[in-house]
Structure 1
Amino acid sequence: MSPQRKLLLLGTFVHSKTRQDLDFLHKAGIAIDAQGKIAAIERDAQDLSEVKARLLGKLGWDEAEVDVTEAAEGQFFFPGFVDTHIHASQYANAGIFGKSSLLDWLETYTFPLEASLKDLSKARRVYSRCIRRTLSHGTTTATYFATIDVAATNLLADLCLSMGQRAFVGRVCMDSTDMNPAYYRDASAADGLEATQQTIDHVRRIDPGFDVVSPILTPRFAPSCSSEAMAGLAELHRQTGLPIQTHVSENPGEIQLVAQLFPESDSYTGLYDKCGLLTPRTVLAHAVHISEEEADLIALKGSKVSHCPCSNTCLTSGSARVRWMWDKGIDVGLGTDVSGGYSHSILEAARQAAMVSRHVAMGIEQEKERERVKLTVEEVLYLATRGGARCVGLEDKIGGFEVGMEWDAQLVTLGEVNDEGDVHDEDDDHGFVDMFGWETWDDRVAKWLFNGDDRNTKKVWVKGRLVHRRK
């Protein structure tokens, strides 16, 4: 990605200070250098003109060389969302999650669609729309599963880079002759590893430093892979340091299947550890039914969990216990898991994470603990930003607004209701979020979380580049 013009962003900024607290920067400004990094921050000025003067003076910048974006009344800047688990290859099936179990859903809906994306014209249509849609909802970083096809996977990487979305792109490895259909599987573990290496080489050619797009090693899930394939990917990780993504303990039937296929392993998580796949750079999707021992093992190995509340509800997989995983010392982020989940919005995933935590709470008798397990507005927005950044190893680059971090952000607009009950600027659709003027900033953010959608996301930047503007 070529260097961008320097930026000045002026107005109100909101981001997670900690897991429990949001930080509100009012009458503030952030300067972005030509490499897309935050060069300076000023806050608490008398007005925005003072902020601009301070920043230009501090940095010695000429205003003529700077693009200025000033947040209007009812707008604020927020970090870009991080989707830690999404199947770009399943985007066309979003909303079609069937009436049966995970394994039946894979056979009926998922494998046929993924296999069909070997047609690159079809893949381009699906992937381009997926990237545009997720960007429009403020997702600046996406961790993608592609398909087993090298050319289609490489195309997804190309599109992410050209359209400006930060992405981890994984060619899916699945070589089991027992579990995968004959029309959609790797010919052998060795063939799968060679195909994965081809995608790694391609991404290294188009983005040598993996600054925007990175390969990610992707064993689909244990039942679809042989032990040889999983061990081979683990060795590839040790050689390259590349991240890993897979699924774990999504539903009871899957766990029973793993026990049948790999009787030598003491648990689903233990199998991954035995194969060498549990590392600090591993993202495990779901973890709905992991045991105490498995959670302890994940924490010990430093692996991360992608919580996918929408998918877990759609496929009746269960309710993941985020507070319990945090208590165990596990880093957690959010995933949409399209198309197991129907929505490609991380804002939707955040509000569903709050709801699922309340379902978990309903099963707890002790009142104090019942209240404790419920996730707050602040906590689910942390999951959507800094939590996700930690999961994918980018916590020093994205997820918050600090000097030295990269400008992955969105400009959010909330509708202001006038005395007649109309929203100012009726020509601009602000969605379902109505502000009456008496809300605190905590209330404003909560109303956005529970009522907001892509109509509230007006601009999106990745590494200082404007990648989406709502018309």
Structure 2
Amino acid sequence: MDAVQHVFKGTFIHSTTRCDLEIIENHMLGTDRVGKILFFEDAQIQSRLSQKWGFDESNIQALGNNEFFMPGMIDTHIHAPQYTFIGIGMERPLLEWLEHTTFPTEDTFCDVELARNMYNTVVYDRVKPIITPRFAISCSERLLNKLGKLAEKHDLHIQSHISESPAEIKEVRRLFPDYNNYTEVYDRNKLLTNKTVMAHGCYLTNEELCVFRERGAAISHCPNSNISLCSGHLDVRNALNHRVKMGLGTDVAGGYSISLLDAIRKAIETSKIIFMERSKSERDNNETQNKQQENMKPDEVNEDTQNGPMKTENNHNVLSYKEAFWLATLGGSEALGIDHITGNFKVGKEFDALIINPEAKDSPFEVNSHVSKEEMLQRFLYLGDDRNIKSVYVAGICVVPFPSNT
């Protein structure tokens, strides 16, 4: 029997493959010595769990009444060498920002000691080798082809950027005239696989999204960066309707925030902007059709026009906070191909979790006694910050607050 390292008791909120948000109250979760979840059961059978797993009930770590566990949030796209200039050059569009801010700074990382110090600051040690063509513009066709073959030979993960801005897409078309679209540049060179994560995708067509789905490739949605560099908006609803894997990314330093809470909020806001723009476009089209009908002669009005302007089916609706929560947790783990390791509180996965305390000192929001756990989660996602994050566990190890060396 595996030895029990931790036993927690309280409310757990996570996503599953069946629902975007599941709130599980009065439950107990136990982890083993390597940080994997051993059991996740109703606290009503606490005594039986103690006997089965051999832990002392006095060692159970119980959450406060309004506290809850949620899975650790997963950033699917970040640039470690850009961490040094977050918030700089935001007045420039993408390609100008790269030329004037990003590339000159990244050139300094030829200093190995500088690079080592920065990567140790930003990157957690749970890393894997990954093939990373920056984007098609910076690569020759021969390089892309060689990278694709290398990834195939060693079954490696792949990451890059795609369809981030109109200027970028225009340049890709100029450099790769024999390809039908941006997606095909990667696909024909074996760089679009079920281990691929492509950032942005603001202008991917439905045809390209179908290729993403067929290949099992994922999109990292980086709404802060998309807005900050005036790149565009990703229609998340459309991508999800095409059953494309997706997570959220901060894209530091194209995005000026390292917080996944910011990514959640901006993902929802972007979805609302798209919805409003689409609604306005449909209203304008309807007004135009109505005016055209008003100007038609009686004998030009047929049976179809008499029924009013032709209506198109609109399946678009805004991203809910539950879906954004899923994107930041389980969706991100699926995008990175690590959903068998992390993303929710399923038995056998590693215990990656946050303890959220809505009543923390100096909390940016207030909690009344009658507020439900679902409402508390909403307030945390929209209003909370690091003051509400009481503890952080990675693979069963408490990394925040930092363990005392004394």
Q: Is this a same-fold pair by TM over 0.5?
A: yes
Q: Which residue of the partner structure matches residue 376 of structure 1?
A: 320
Partner of residue 241, structure 1: 155
Q: Confirm whether residue 449 of structure 1 aligns to residue 381 of structure 2.
A: yes
**Is this contact kept in 1: 2:4–2:53, CA < 8 A?**
no
CA RMSD of aligned residues (A): 2.3
Q: Which residue of 2 aligns with 1:439?
A: 371
Residue identity in the other structure for 1:82: I
Partner of 2:249: 335
Q: Which shows bigger deviation, 294-303 or 110-119?
A: 110-119
1:248-303 Cα deviation digits (max 9, x unpaired): 00000000000001111111101111111111110010000011211111111111
Map 1:159-198; keep pairs closer than 5 Å: 160-161=124-125
CA distance in 2, matches of 1:122, 1:257: 32
| Identity between Structure 1 and Structure 2 (%) | 38
Higher strand proportion, which one?
1
Deviation at 1:20, TM superposition (A): 4.8
> What amino acid is aligned across from residue 85 of structure 2 in structure 1?
N
Report Cα offsets for 1:217-267 as digits up to 9, x if no partner.
111100001112111111111111111000000000000000001111111
Q: Does 1:313 align with 2:307?
A: no
Superposed displacement of residue 57, structure 1: 1.6
The aligned counterpart of 1:109 is: 101
Distance in 2, matches of 1:110 and 1:431, equals 35
Structure 1 residues 219 and 4, CA, compared in 2 at 3 Å: closer, same or farther? farther
Which residue in 2 is equivalent to 1:300?
A: 214
Give the TM-score normalised by the residue count of structure 1. Answer: 0.75
- Structure 2 equivalent of residue 55 of structure 1: 49
Partner Cα distance (2:167, 2:3) in 1: 50
Query: Are the equivalent residues in 1 in contact too, given 2:13–2:23 (CA < 8 A)?
Result: yes
In 2, Cα distance between the equivalents of 1:337 and 1:4? 39
SS of the residue corresponding to residue 236 of structure 1 reads helix
Aligned ranges 1:180-219 → 2 under 5 Å: 212-219=126-133
**Could you tell me how far 1:107 is from its partner in structure 2?**
1.2
CA contact (8 A) 1:42 1:54 kept: no
State how 1:61-140 maps to structure 2 within 5 Å. Answer: 61=55, 68-131=60-123
> Does structure 1 conserve the Cα–Cα contact (< 8 Å) formed by 2:66 and 2:373?
no
Match of 1:459 among 391, 396, 402: 391
Structure 2: how far apart are the matches of 1:121 and 1:70?
44
Aligned-pair distance for 1:55?
A: 2.7
Deviations along 1:113-150, whole A, 9 cap, x unmatched? 2121233443344334435xxxxxxxxxxxxxxxxxxx
Contact residue 97 and residue 314 of structure 1 kept, 8 A: no
**Given residue 59 of structure 1, which amino acid in structure 2 is its aligned partner?**
W
1:269 is the counterpart of 2:183? yes
Q: Secondary structure at the match of 2:102?
A: helix
Distance 1:237 1:124, change over 3 A: closer
Paired residues of 1:100 and 1:315 also in contact (CA < 8 A): yes
Whether 2:347 is the aligned partner of 1:403: answer yes
Residue deviations 1:181-228 (CA, integer Å, cap 9, x gap): xxxxxxxxxxxxxxxxxxxxxxxxxxxxxxx32111111100001112
1:104 and 1:370 map into 2 onto residues whose CA distance is 37
Whole-Å separation in 2 of the counterparts to 1:285 and 1:224 = 15
Determine if contact 2:23/2:374 at 8 Å carries over to the other structure.
no
Displacement after TM superposition at 1:381 (Å): 0.3
Residues 392-401 or 335-344, more deviating: 392-401
CA distance in 2, matches of 1:433, 1:18: 31
1:57 is matched by which residue type in structure 2? Q
The alpha-carbon deviation at position 351 of structure 1 amounts to 1.2
Of 433-442 and 333-342, the range deviating more from structure 2: 433-442
Change in CA separation of 1:272 and 1:4 when aligned onto 2, cut-off 3 Å = farther
Q: Please tell me whether the aligned partners of residues 4 and 36 of structure 1 are also in contact (alpha carbons under 8 angstroms).
A: no
Name the CA distance, whole Å, in 1 between partners of 2:263 and 2:32: 32
1:385 counterpart SS class: helix
**Cα distance in structure 1, aligned partners of 2:40 and 2:193:** 35
User: CA offset at residue 62 of structure 1?
Assistant: 5.2
In the alignment, which residue of structure 2 is the partner of 1:288? Answer: 202
Q: Measure, in 2, the Cα distance between the counterparts of 1:19 and 1:382.
A: 11
CA distance in 2, matches of 1:43, 1:276: 47
Q: Which residue of 2 is the match for residue 39 of structure 1?
A: 38
SS of the residue corresponding to residue 12 of structure 1 reads: strand
The 5-angstrom pairing of residues 150-165 of structure 1 reads 160-161=124-125
Equivalent AA in structure 2 for residue 397 of structure 1: I
2: distance between equivalents of 1:215 and 1:287? 23
Gaps of 5+ in 1: 132-159, 162-211, 416-427
Q: TM-score, normalised by structure 2?
A: 0.86
**Amino acid across the alignment from 1:92:** T
What SS does the corresponding residue of 2:78 show, helix, strand or coil? Answer: strand
Cα deviation digits, residues 93-121 of structure 1 (max 9, x gap)? 11114312211101111112212123344
C-alpha distance in 2, partners of 1:57/1:312? 53
Distance 1:24 1:80 in 2: 16
